[in-house]
């Protein structure tokens, strides 16, 4: 059976409040703090806290053999501190197990890579400092916003000293190649880990879809699919939004039981 790599994205944007033309230059309160707090707390209790508890149980049950990685944006951490500090505490507990790796990305989950290289570097540096401060780790792996990749971005990230980068494994990107192999950036030694979007999306989007031909998705069935990748690669990269657990796929669907089995 190939190795399985779990990576989850944790991000919460700042929501803008209604802002009229007559307020320009007079009112500098752009963000809807009430809505930000409501959404962060809702996601915290539906997803972040129960999912982190599940991950902690898996790590303890396997004596650290189960491992997982996260990218937590700077703005998500800012809002955790403001509205649900217990969520940040739960990520710190995971970090202390030694079985959790924190991946770097842009502080603001931005598209700076496509527009401004200096801004891009600055946001990466901000994120690195925050991850070191909050979780005691210096990330060695990078993920760009929405896994956007081209060789220029890859070379820039390699030159920043990262060991690997997580990228989208879409068919039009990989062409005939399988996402289950480890690739390298052109003219650099940095590794590229491509998302197996088919298996990732089976959990993230199709898990509770009763019209799906493979519903219901059981742990045994999914493990069989992963096992079926044997001989077609070295690693199956399961990358998805962390809100898959409890928010996109509600607790009532059995997603947490699926995760822990």
| Residues 186-205, mean pLDDT to the nearest whole number | 97
Catalytic residue among 117, 146, 257, 260: 146
What pLDDT is attached to residue 233? 86
Q: What is the spatial distance between Cα 137 and Cα 163, in angstroms, rounded to a whole number?
A: 14
Partners of 165 in the beta sheet?
142, 192
In this prediction the pTM is 0.94
| Residues 57-79, mean pLDDT to the nearest whole number | 98
Q: What is the spatial distance between Cα 47 and Cα 40, in angstroms, rounded to a whole number?
A: 10
What pLDDT is attached to residue 16? 87
Tell me: the pLDDT tens digits for 160-176?
A: 999 999 999 988 888 89
Is 29 marked active-site? no
What pLDDT is attached to residue 22? 66
Query: In whole numbers, what is the pLDDT of the chain averaged over residues?
Result: 95
**In the predicted structure, residue 1 carries a pLDDT above the cut 90:** no
Q: Which residues contact 231 (CB under 8 A, 6 or more apart)?
A: none
- Name which residue leads in pLDDT, 69 or 26: 69
Q: Does the 3-260 domain belong in CATH 3.40.50.2020? A: no
CB 168 within 8 A of CB 260: no
Instruction: Work out whether the CA dihedral 116, 117, 120, 125 comes out positive or negative.
Output: negative
Tell me: the pLDDT tens digits for 17-56?
A: 887 766 777 767 778 999 999 999 999 999 999 999 999 9
Sorted by where each begins, the domain ranges of the chain are 3-260
**In the predicted structure, residue 252 carries a pLDDT above the cut 80:** yes
What pLDDT is attached to residue 27? 66
**In the predicted structure, residue 85 carries a pLDDT above the cut 90:** yes
| Residues 174-197, mean pLDDT to the nearest whole number | 95
* Cα first-last separation, the chain: 17
**In the predicted structure, residue 232 carries a pLDDT above the cut 90:** no
What pLDDT is attached to residue 157? 98
């Amino acid at each position: 059976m190939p190795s399985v790599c779990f990576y989850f994205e944790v991000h919460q944007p700042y929501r803008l409040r209604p802002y009229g033309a007559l307020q320009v230059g007079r009112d500098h309160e752009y963000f809807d703090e009430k809505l930000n707090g409501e959404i962060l707390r809702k996601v915290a209790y539906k997803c972040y806290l129960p999912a982190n508890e599940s991950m902690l149980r898996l790590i303890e049950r396997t004596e650290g053999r189960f491992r997982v990685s996260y990218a937590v944006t700077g703005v998500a951490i800012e809002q955790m501190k403001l509205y649900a500090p217990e969520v940040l505490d739960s990520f710190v507990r995971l970090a202390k197990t030694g079985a959790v790796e924190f991946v770097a990305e842009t502080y603001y989950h931005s598209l700076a890579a496509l527009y401004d290289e200096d801004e891009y570097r600055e946001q990466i540096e901000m994120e690195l400092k925050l991850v070191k401060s909050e979780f005691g780790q210096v990330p060695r792996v990078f993920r760009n916003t929405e896994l956007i990749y081209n060789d220029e971005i890859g070379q820039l990230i390699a030159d920043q000293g990262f060991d690997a980068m997580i990228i989208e494994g879409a068919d039009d990107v990989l062409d005939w190649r399988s996402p289950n192999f480890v690739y390298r950036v052109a003219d650099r030694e940095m590794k590229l880990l491509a998302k197996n979007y088919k298996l990732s999306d089976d959990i993230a989007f199709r898990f509770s879809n009763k019209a799906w031909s493979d519903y219901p998705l059981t742990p045994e069935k999914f493990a069989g699919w992963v096992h079926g990748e044997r001989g077609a690669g070295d690693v199956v990269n399961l990358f998805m939004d962390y809100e898959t657990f409890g928010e996109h796929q509600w607790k009532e669907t059995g997603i947490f039981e699926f995760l822990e089995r």
